[in-house]
Protein backbone atom coordinates (compact mmCIF):
# COMPACT_ATOMS: atom_id res chain seq x y z
CA UNK A 1 0.00 0.00 0.00
CA UNK A 2 1.31 3.46 -0.88
CA UNK A 3 2.01 5.58 2.16
CA UNK A 4 1.44 9.29 1.42
CA UNK A 5 4.52 11.31 2.38
CA UNK A 6 2.56 13.30 4.96
CA UNK A 7 0.95 10.24 6.55
CA UNK A 8 0.64 10.54 10.34
CA UNK A 9 1.62 7.12 11.70
CA UNK A 10 0.57 8.07 15.26
CA UNK A 11 -3.01 7.95 13.95
CA UNK A 12 -2.55 4.24 13.13
CA UNK A 13 -1.60 3.67 16.77
CA UNK A 14 -4.51 5.80 18.02
CA UNK A 15 -6.96 3.76 15.92
CA UNK A 16 -5.86 0.63 17.79
CA UNK A 17 -5.24 1.97 21.29
CA UNK A 18 -6.79 5.41 21.95
CA UNK A 19 -9.55 5.34 24.54
CA UNK A 20 -8.85 1.80 25.72
CA UNK A 21 -9.17 1.08 29.42
CA UNK A 22 -6.65 -1.25 31.05
CA UNK A 23 -8.94 -3.57 32.99
CA UNK A 24 -8.10 -6.51 35.23
CA UNK A 25 -6.33 -9.35 33.39
CA UNK A 26 -9.39 -11.63 33.62
CA UNK A 27 -11.25 -9.39 31.15
CA UNK A 28 -8.61 -9.92 28.42
CA UNK A 29 -7.40 -7.24 26.01
CA UNK A 30 -10.74 -6.23 24.52
CA UNK A 31 -13.38 -4.00 26.09
CA UNK A 32 -16.09 -6.24 27.60
CA UNK A 33 -19.52 -5.70 26.05
CA UNK A 34 -21.80 -4.26 28.72
CA UNK A 35 -25.33 -5.39 27.92
CA UNK A 36 -27.05 -4.19 31.12
CA UNK A 37 -29.66 -1.49 30.99
CA UNK A 38 -30.03 -1.53 34.80
CA UNK A 39 -27.24 -0.53 37.21
CA UNK A 40 -26.87 -0.37 40.98
CA UNK A 41 -26.92 3.33 41.95
CA UNK A 42 -26.01 2.98 45.64
CA UNK A 43 -22.32 3.85 45.10
CA UNK A 44 -23.56 7.36 44.18
CA UNK A 45 -22.99 6.99 40.38
CA UNK A 46 -26.07 7.19 38.15
CA UNK A 47 -25.38 4.89 35.21
CA UNK A 48 -27.85 4.30 32.37
CA UNK A 49 -27.12 3.56 28.69
CA UNK A 50 -29.10 6.55 27.40
CA UNK A 51 -26.92 8.87 29.49
CA UNK A 52 -23.95 7.80 27.32
CA UNK A 53 -21.91 6.81 30.38
CA UNK A 54 -21.44 3.08 29.83
CA UNK A 55 -17.90 1.71 29.57
CA UNK A 56 -18.44 0.86 25.89
CA UNK A 57 -19.60 4.39 25.17
CA UNK A 58 -16.75 6.03 27.04
CA UNK A 59 -14.05 3.97 25.30
CA UNK A 60 -15.29 4.55 21.77
CA UNK A 61 -16.15 8.24 22.31
CA UNK A 62 -12.63 8.83 23.65
CA UNK A 63 -11.13 7.05 20.65
CA UNK A 64 -13.09 9.16 18.15
CA UNK A 65 -12.19 12.36 20.03
CA UNK A 66 -8.49 11.44 19.90
CA UNK A 67 -8.68 10.62 16.18
CA UNK A 68 -10.28 14.00 15.45
CA UNK A 69 -7.76 15.84 17.65
CA UNK A 70 -10.63 16.91 19.93
CA UNK A 71 -10.95 17.09 23.72
CA UNK A 72 -14.18 15.10 23.91
CA UNK A 73 -16.63 13.04 21.88
CA UNK A 74 -20.08 11.50 21.89
CA UNK A 75 -21.44 8.52 19.99
CA UNK A 76 -25.06 8.48 18.82
CA UNK A 77 -27.41 5.94 17.27
CA UNK A 78 -27.09 7.48 13.78
CA UNK A 79 -25.46 10.37 11.96
CA UNK A 80 -28.78 12.20 11.98
CA UNK A 81 -28.89 11.69 15.78
CA UNK A 82 -25.69 13.73 16.00
CA UNK A 83 -26.72 16.36 13.46
CA UNK A 84 -30.14 16.97 15.03
CA UNK A 85 -28.52 17.28 18.48
CA UNK A 86 -26.16 19.95 17.12
CA UNK A 87 -29.01 22.11 15.77
CA UNK A 88 -31.27 21.62 18.79
CA UNK A 89 -28.57 22.33 21.37
CA UNK A 90 -26.90 25.32 19.70
CA UNK A 91 -30.02 27.06 18.36
CA UNK A 92 -33.47 28.01 19.54
CA UNK A 93 -36.44 29.13 17.39
CA UNK A 94 -35.66 32.55 15.89
CA UNK A 95 -31.92 31.84 15.68
CA UNK A 96 -30.15 31.62 12.34
CA UNK A 97 -27.61 29.23 10.80
CA UNK A 98 -25.61 29.26 7.57
CA UNK A 99 -25.53 26.00 5.61
CA UNK A 100 -23.28 25.07 2.72
CA UNK A 101 -25.26 24.54 -0.49
CA UNK A 102 -25.87 20.87 -1.32
CA UNK A 103 -25.54 19.29 2.14
CA UNK A 104 -26.51 15.63 2.64
CA UNK A 105 -30.20 15.15 1.79
CA UNK A 106 -31.16 13.99 5.30
CA UNK A 107 -29.72 17.18 6.79
CA UNK A 108 -31.63 19.28 4.27
CA UNK A 109 -34.77 17.30 5.06
CA UNK A 110 -34.32 17.97 8.80
CA UNK A 111 -33.90 21.69 8.07
CA UNK A 112 -36.86 21.92 5.71
CA UNK A 113 -39.21 19.41 7.31
CA UNK A 114 -38.73 20.13 11.01
CA UNK A 115 -36.49 23.07 11.89
CA UNK A 116 -37.76 25.74 9.48
CA UNK A 117 -41.43 25.06 10.34
CA UNK A 118 -40.41 25.34 14.04
CA UNK A 119 -39.04 28.88 13.54
CA UNK A 120 -35.33 28.20 12.96
CA UNK A 121 -33.89 30.33 10.16
CA UNK A 122 -31.28 29.43 7.56
CA UNK A 123 -29.22 30.91 4.74
CA UNK A 124 -27.48 28.91 2.04
CA UNK A 125 -23.81 29.59 1.33
CA UNK A 126 -22.26 28.86 -2.09
CA UNK A 127 -18.87 27.91 -0.56
CA UNK A 128 -17.04 31.07 -1.69
CA UNK A 129 -15.28 32.52 1.41
CA UNK A 130 -15.82 36.04 0.01
CA UNK A 131 -19.60 35.51 0.26
CA UNK A 132 -19.68 34.12 3.82
CA UNK A 133 -19.25 37.32 5.84
CA UNK A 134 -22.39 38.92 4.44
CA UNK A 135 -24.57 35.90 5.33
CA UNK A 136 -23.70 35.95 9.03
CA UNK A 137 -26.06 38.05 11.16
CA UNK A 138 -26.11 38.84 14.91
CA UNK A 139 -28.56 35.89 15.21
CA UNK A 140 -26.29 33.37 13.48
CA UNK A 141 -25.39 30.59 15.88
CA UNK A 142 -23.72 28.07 13.61
CA UNK A 143 -22.22 27.34 10.23
CA UNK A 144 -22.49 23.79 8.86
CA UNK A 145 -20.39 22.52 5.95
CA UNK A 146 -19.25 19.28 4.33
CA UNK A 147 -15.97 18.80 2.47
CA UNK A 148 -15.77 17.04 0.07
CA UNK A 149 -19.44 17.43 -0.79
CA UNK A 150 -21.74 14.72 -2.05
CA UNK A 151 -21.71 13.92 -4.98
CA UNK A 152 -19.91 16.80 -6.70
CA UNK A 153 -16.79 16.55 -4.53
CA UNK A 154 -16.38 20.30 -4.04
CA UNK A 155 -13.90 21.38 -1.37
CA UNK A 156 -14.30 24.01 1.35
CA UNK A 157 -11.17 25.92 2.41
CA UNK A 158 -11.28 24.80 6.06
CA UNK A 159 -8.87 27.27 7.63
CA UNK A 160 -10.32 30.31 5.87
CA UNK A 161 -13.91 29.27 6.63
CA UNK A 162 -13.28 28.50 10.31
CA UNK A 163 -11.51 31.84 10.74
CA UNK A 164 -14.49 33.79 9.35
CA UNK A 165 -16.91 31.92 11.64
CA UNK A 166 -14.66 32.59 14.62
CA UNK A 167 -14.54 36.34 13.87
CA UNK A 168 -18.33 36.34 14.18
CA UNK A 169 -18.48 34.10 17.28
CA UNK A 170 -20.35 31.52 15.21
CA UNK A 171 -19.81 27.84 15.99
CA UNK A 172 -18.23 26.16 12.94
CA UNK A 173 -19.43 22.59 12.36
CA UNK A 174 -18.29 20.15 9.69
CA UNK A 175 -19.76 16.83 8.66
CA UNK A 176 -16.51 14.87 8.21
CA UNK A 177 -18.19 11.65 7.05
CA UNK A 178 -16.67 11.62 3.54
CA UNK A 179 -13.09 12.42 4.55
CA UNK A 180 -12.75 10.72 7.98
CA UNK A 181 -10.08 11.86 10.47
CA UNK A 182 -7.54 9.76 8.58
CA UNK A 183 -7.80 12.15 5.63
CA UNK A 184 -8.60 15.42 7.38
CA UNK A 185 -8.87 16.66 10.95
CA UNK A 186 -10.92 19.86 10.68
CA UNK A 187 -10.46 20.78 14.35
CA UNK A 188 -6.74 21.23 13.65
CA UNK A 189 -7.80 23.73 10.94
CA UNK A 190 -9.90 25.75 13.41
CA UNK A 191 -13.33 24.07 13.24
CA UNK A 192 -15.20 23.86 16.54
CA UNK A 193 -17.18 20.68 16.04
CA UNK A 194 -17.07 17.58 13.85
CA UNK A 195 -20.06 15.32 13.15
CA UNK A 196 -20.07 11.92 11.48
CA UNK A 197 -22.39 9.42 10.01
CA UNK A 198 -20.42 6.59 11.63
CA UNK A 199 -22.55 4.29 9.49
CA UNK A 200 -20.06 4.98 6.70
CA UNK A 201 -16.26 4.81 7.14
CA UNK A 202 -16.09 4.64 10.95
CA UNK A 203 -18.19 1.45 10.94
CA UNK A 204 -16.70 0.60 7.56
CA UNK A 205 -18.33 -2.80 6.92
CA UNK A 206 -21.87 -1.80 5.88
CA UNK A 207 -23.35 -3.47 8.96
CA UNK A 208 -23.69 -0.71 11.56
CA UNK A 209 -25.84 2.43 11.97
CA UNK A 210 -24.23 5.06 14.23
CA UNK A 211 -23.10 8.67 14.49
CA UNK A 212 -20.48 10.68 16.34
CA UNK A 213 -19.57 14.16 17.53
CA UNK A 214 -16.17 15.55 18.54
CA UNK A 215 -15.17 18.97 19.87
CA UNK A 216 -14.09 20.87 22.94
CA UNK A 217 -15.09 19.52 26.35
CA UNK A 218 -17.26 22.61 26.82
CA UNK A 219 -19.18 22.14 23.56
CA UNK A 220 -19.66 18.40 24.03
CA UNK A 221 -20.91 18.94 27.60
CA UNK A 222 -23.33 21.54 26.22
CA UNK A 223 -24.68 19.12 23.56
CA UNK A 224 -24.81 16.06 25.86
CA UNK A 225 -28.18 16.83 27.56
CA UNK A 226 -29.83 17.23 24.13
CA UNK A 227 -28.48 13.87 22.97
CA UNK A 228 -29.86 12.32 26.19
CA UNK A 229 -33.26 14.01 25.67
CA UNK A 230 -33.47 12.93 22.04
CA UNK A 231 -32.71 9.34 23.07
CA UNK A 232 -30.17 8.82 20.33
CA UNK A 233 -28.03 6.23 22.13
CA UNK A 234 -26.24 3.18 20.79
CA UNK A 235 -26.37 -0.20 22.54
CA UNK A 236 -23.33 -1.98 24.01
CA UNK A 237 -22.99 -4.53 21.20
CA UNK A 238 -22.96 -1.90 18.46
CA UNK A 239 -20.59 0.30 20.48
CA UNK A 240 -18.21 -2.65 20.70
CA UNK A 241 -18.57 -3.31 16.97
CA UNK A 242 -17.74 0.34 16.29
CA UNK A 243 -14.67 0.18 18.57
CA UNK A 244 -13.50 -2.94 16.72
CA UNK A 245 -14.04 -1.28 13.34
CA UNK A 246 -12.12 1.84 14.33
CA UNK A 247 -9.00 -0.24 15.00
CA UNK A 248 -8.63 -0.71 11.24
CA UNK A 249 -9.94 2.72 10.16
CA UNK A 250 -6.56 4.05 9.11
CA UNK A 251 -5.60 0.89 7.19
CA UNK A 252 -8.94 0.83 5.40
CA UNK A 253 -9.13 4.50 4.51
CA UNK A 254 -5.54 4.66 3.27
CA UNK A 255 -6.22 1.71 0.95
CA UNK A 256 -9.55 3.25 -0.14
CA UNK A 257 -7.84 6.59 -0.87
CA UNK A 258 -5.05 4.92 -2.85
CA UNK A 259 -7.59 2.91 -4.87
CA UNK A 260 -9.77 5.98 -5.52
CA UNK A 261 -6.79 8.02 -6.75
CA UNK A 262 -5.67 5.26 -9.08
CA UNK A 263 -9.19 4.73 -10.44
CA UNK A 264 -9.69 8.48 -10.87
CA UNK A 265 -6.49 8.67 -12.94
CA UNK A 266 -7.47 5.70 -15.12
CA UNK A 267 -11.09 6.85 -15.57
CA UNK A 268 -9.93 10.35 -16.43
CA UNK A 269 -8.42 9.21 -19.71
CA UNK A 270 -11.32 6.97 -20.79
CA UNK A 271 -13.28 7.94 -23.91
CA UNK A 272 -16.66 6.98 -22.34
CA UNK A 273 -16.21 9.47 -19.46
CA UNK A 274 -16.97 13.17 -19.76
CA UNK A 275 -15.66 14.16 -16.34
CA UNK A 276 -14.07 12.68 -13.21
CA UNK A 277 -14.71 14.58 -9.97
CA UNK A 278 -11.94 13.82 -7.47
CA UNK A 279 -9.91 16.35 -5.44
CA UNK A 280 -6.74 14.28 -5.96
CA UNK A 281 -6.70 15.07 -9.71
CA UNK A 282 -4.59 18.15 -10.56
CA UNK A 283 -7.42 19.55 -12.74
CA UNK A 284 -9.90 19.55 -9.81
CA UNK A 285 -10.64 23.28 -9.21
CA UNK A 286 -9.68 23.01 -5.51
CA UNK A 287 -6.78 20.56 -5.87
CA UNK A 288 -4.29 22.95 -4.25
CA UNK A 289 -6.54 23.65 -1.25
CA UNK A 290 -7.33 19.93 -0.92
CA UNK A 291 -3.63 19.03 -1.03
CA UNK A 292 -2.98 21.42 1.85
CA UNK A 293 -5.72 20.16 4.15
CA UNK A 294 -6.14 16.46 3.26
CA UNK A 295 -3.79 13.48 3.68
CA UNK A 296 -4.69 11.42 0.64
CA UNK A 297 -8.00 12.47 -0.90
CA UNK A 298 -10.45 9.90 0.44
CA UNK A 299 -12.31 6.98 -1.08
CA UNK A 300 -15.19 8.85 -2.74
CA UNK A 301 -15.15 9.90 -6.38
CA UNK A 302 -17.78 10.78 -8.96
CA UNK A 303 -17.80 10.31 -12.68
CA UNK A 304 -19.94 11.68 -15.47
CA UNK A 305 -20.64 9.25 -18.24
CA UNK A 306 -20.55 10.58 -21.82
CA UNK A 307 -23.96 11.75 -23.06
CA UNK A 308 -23.88 9.09 -25.81
CA UNK A 309 -23.68 6.29 -23.21
CA UNK A 310 -26.64 4.55 -21.59
CA UNK A 311 -26.35 4.86 -17.76
CA UNK A 312 -28.57 1.82 -17.13
CA UNK A 313 -26.51 -0.43 -19.41
CA UNK A 314 -23.32 0.75 -17.67
CA UNK A 315 -24.75 -0.05 -14.24
CA UNK A 316 -26.08 -3.44 -15.36
CA UNK A 317 -22.73 -4.41 -16.88
CA UNK A 318 -20.83 -4.04 -13.58
CA UNK A 319 -20.22 -7.39 -11.89
CA UNK A 320 -17.88 -6.82 -8.93
CA UNK A 321 -19.03 -3.29 -8.08
CA UNK A 322 -22.57 -3.34 -6.72
CA UNK A 323 -25.13 -0.52 -6.74
CA UNK A 324 -25.88 0.59 -3.19
CA UNK A 325 -27.16 3.50 -1.14
CA UNK A 326 -24.70 4.35 1.68
CA UNK A 327 -20.92 4.30 1.36
CA UNK A 328 -17.63 3.83 3.17
CA UNK A 329 -17.62 0.02 3.37
CA UNK A 330 -14.73 -2.30 2.54
CA UNK A 331 -16.55 -3.24 -0.68
CA UNK A 332 -16.69 -0.86 -3.66
CA UNK A 333 -20.22 0.34 -4.39
CA UNK A 334 -21.72 2.69 -6.93
CA UNK A 335 -24.77 4.94 -6.82
CA UNK A 336 -26.62 7.16 -9.23
CA UNK A 337 -27.41 10.21 -7.05
CA UNK A 338 -30.33 11.24 -9.31
CA UNK A 339 -32.03 7.96 -8.35
CA UNK A 340 -30.78 7.56 -4.77
CA UNK A 341 -29.50 10.33 -2.47
CA UNK A 342 -30.99 13.15 -4.59
CA UNK A 343 -34.09 11.35 -5.92
CA UNK A 344 -36.44 13.41 -3.75
CA UNK A 345 -35.29 16.73 -5.24
CA UNK A 346 -37.39 18.25 -8.01
CA UNK A 347 -36.04 18.34 -11.58
CA UNK A 348 -35.21 22.04 -11.42
CA UNK A 349 -33.16 21.64 -8.20
CA UNK A 350 -31.33 18.64 -9.67
CA UNK A 351 -30.60 20.66 -12.84
CA UNK A 352 -29.34 23.55 -10.74
CA UNK A 353 -26.96 21.20 -8.92
CA UNK A 354 -25.96 19.53 -12.22
CA UNK A 355 -27.02 16.08 -10.99
CA UNK A 356 -28.39 13.99 -13.86
CA UNK A 357 -28.67 10.28 -14.70
CA UNK A 358 -25.16 10.27 -16.22
CA UNK A 359 -23.56 11.17 -12.88
CA UNK A 360 -22.32 8.22 -10.76
CA UNK A 361 -20.75 8.21 -7.31
CA UNK A 362 -18.21 5.53 -6.49
CA UNK A 363 -17.41 4.52 -2.91
CA UNK A 364 -14.09 2.78 -3.34
CA UNK A 365 -13.40 -0.25 -1.20
CA UNK A 366 -10.22 -2.09 -0.29
CA UNK A 367 -10.25 -4.65 -3.12
CA UNK A 368 -7.38 -5.00 -5.60
CA UNK A 369 -7.42 -1.90 -7.79
CA UNK A 370 -6.80 -3.91 -10.99
CA UNK A 371 -9.93 -5.99 -10.34
CA UNK A 372 -11.97 -2.81 -9.83
CA UNK A 373 -10.54 -1.26 -12.98
CA UNK A 374 -11.24 -4.43 -14.97
CA UNK A 375 -14.90 -4.29 -13.88
CA UNK A 376 -15.27 -0.58 -14.68
CA UNK A 377 -13.48 -0.78 -18.02
CA UNK A 378 -15.55 -3.78 -19.08
CA UNK A 379 -18.80 -1.94 -18.20
CA UNK A 380 -17.66 1.28 -19.91
CA UNK A 381 -16.71 -0.53 -23.09
Ligand X SMILES: Cc1ncc(COP(=O)(O)O)c(C=O)c1O
Residue 120 touching ligand X (CB under 6 A): no
Compute the radius of gyration of the chain from its Cα atoms.
Answer: 21
The smaller minimum CB distance to ligand X, of residues 199 and 255, is found at 199
Residue 79 touching ligand X (CB under 6 A): yes
Residue 375 touching ligand X (CB under 6 A): no
Strand order in the sheet with 359-363: 273-277, 300-305, 359-363, 333-335, 322-323
The smaller minimum CB distance to ligand X, of residues 80 and 135, is found at 80
Which range of residues in 2-10, 39-47, 77-85, 166-174 is near ligand X by CB under 6 A? 77-85
Which range of residues in 35-43, 72-80, 86-94, 156-164 is near ligand X by CB under 6 A? 72-80
Q: What share of the chain is helix, strand, coil (3-state, %, to 5)?
A: 40, 15, 45
> What CA–CA distance (Å, rounded) separates 82 from 77?
8
Which range of residues in 2-10, 73-81, 218-226, 257-265 is near ligand X by CB under 6 A? 73-81
Residue 49 touching ligand X (CB under 6 A): no
Which regions of 133-286 does DSSP assign to beta strands (E)? 140-146, 171-175, 193-197, 211-215, 273-277
Helix axes 55-67, 9-17, angle to 10 degrees: 170
Least separation in angstroms between residue 202's CB and ligand X is 10
The smaller minimum CB distance to ligand X, of residues 55 and 209, is found at 209
| Cβ–Cβ < 8 Å for 253, 183 | yes
Residue 233 touching ligand X (CB under 6 A): no
Strand order in the sheet with 72-76: 72-76, 211-215, 193-197, 171-175, 140-146, 96-100, 121-125
Least separation in angstroms between residue 178's CB and ligand X is 6
The smaller minimum CB distance to ligand X, of residues 78 and 235, is found at 78
Window 192-231: contact mask with ligand X (x via CB under 6 A): -----x-x---------x-x--------------------
Which residue in 153, 104, 78, 125 sits closest to 342, CA to CA?
104
Binding site for ligand X (CB under 6 A): 78-80, 104, 106, 146, 150, 175, 177, 197, 199, 209, 211
Amino acid sequence: MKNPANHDSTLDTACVHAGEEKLEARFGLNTPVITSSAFDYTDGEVRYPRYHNSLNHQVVAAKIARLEGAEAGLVTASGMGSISAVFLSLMKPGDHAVLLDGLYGGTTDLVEGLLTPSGFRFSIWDGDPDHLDSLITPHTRLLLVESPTNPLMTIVDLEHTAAIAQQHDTVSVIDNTFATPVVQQPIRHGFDLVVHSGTKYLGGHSDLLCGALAGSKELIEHIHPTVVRLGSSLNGQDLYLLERSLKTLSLRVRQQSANALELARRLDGHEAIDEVLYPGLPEHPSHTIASGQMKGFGGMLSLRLGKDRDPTRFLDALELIRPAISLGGVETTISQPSRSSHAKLGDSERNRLDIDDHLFRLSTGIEGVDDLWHDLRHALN
